[in-house]
Amino acid sequence: MTTPRIFAAALAGIPAGVQAQGVWAGRRQLFVRFAGEAETATMYTATALVKEIERQLGRSTFHSIAIGGRDPLGNLEFLTTVFGGAPLPVPVMLDSDGQRPEALALLAPHLTMVQVTVEFVGPEGTRASAVDTLAAAEGAGCAHALVLCPKDDTSDSQLLRLIEQAHATSAETQVVVHPVLIGQPPVLDRRWSALLEQAVALHADTRLALRLPAPAALR
């Protein structure tokens, strides 16, 4: 007799909150957040997580569920066990940095939205996998978005290059750029208006949006 495998993962919590960024910014979501190295974690079995999601959905109204945190697709078997059962009454979004495009195919049938968030940290070469993840989502027939969160030193050419690559990969990509605000009080520099003009010439479905600040907002 084969003993069933028990899948478990370290989660930073299952909080309710407001999505801070991306295509569903401002939506009330239930967050399934995988813990980072410096975060306090609680181990959940797949069965326990399913029960907790059902409990919270039964108690309150949510637009959707957001799967995020550190390397969510590194827990692929856990996620497919949790979300591969009976369909949930709300959409499910995966928000990742796009570092595991090859893992997406198994989870994509259970997702409504794949959101690839690029924060311009680390080598530029690592961003190629973000575009590969968009391609994997498109190939799986899942709606997908590219969310660009530039730093102070991120150039327009870096942003436009990624937008152009996303368009070449899938014309159905939704692109959201979260601009950097400057000054006190913070204001939006005219640079971003010029950038958006260039961006929509490359990919029509591109928009600027401000990120929502903590503590109400989560991601």
Q: Where are the domains of the chain?
A: 8-218
Q: What is the mean pLDDT of the chain?
A: 92
Mean pLDDT value of segment 136-149 = 97
pLDDT, position 3: 47
Q: What is the pLDDT of residue 43?
A: 95
Instruction: Express each pLDDT in 38-78 by its tens digit.
Output: 778 899 999 999 999 999 999 999 999 999 998 999 999 99
138-169 per-residue burial string, b: 16 or more CB within 10 A, e: under 16: bebebbbbbbbbbeeeeeeebbbebbebbbeb
Q: Is the pTM of this model over 0.75?
A: yes
pLDDT in tens, 109-131: 999 999 999 999 877 767 889 99
DSSP 3-state assignment of 18?
strand
DSSP state, residue 74: G
Judged against a pLDDT cut of 70, whether residue 138 lies above it is answered with yes
Flag whether pLDDT at 132 surpasses 90.
Answer: yes
pLDDT in tens, 162-194: 999 999 999 999 999 999 888 777 788 899 999
User: Which helix (H) or strand (E) covers residue 28, if one does?
Assistant: strand 28-34
Secondary-structure class of domain 8-218 per CATH: alpha beta
Residue 4 clears pLDDT 60, i.e. is over it: no
Looking at the DSSP assignment, which residues form a beta bridge with residue 96?
116
Determine the longest span between alpha carbons in the chain, in angstroms: 67
Average pLDDT rounded to a whole number, residues 78-102: 95
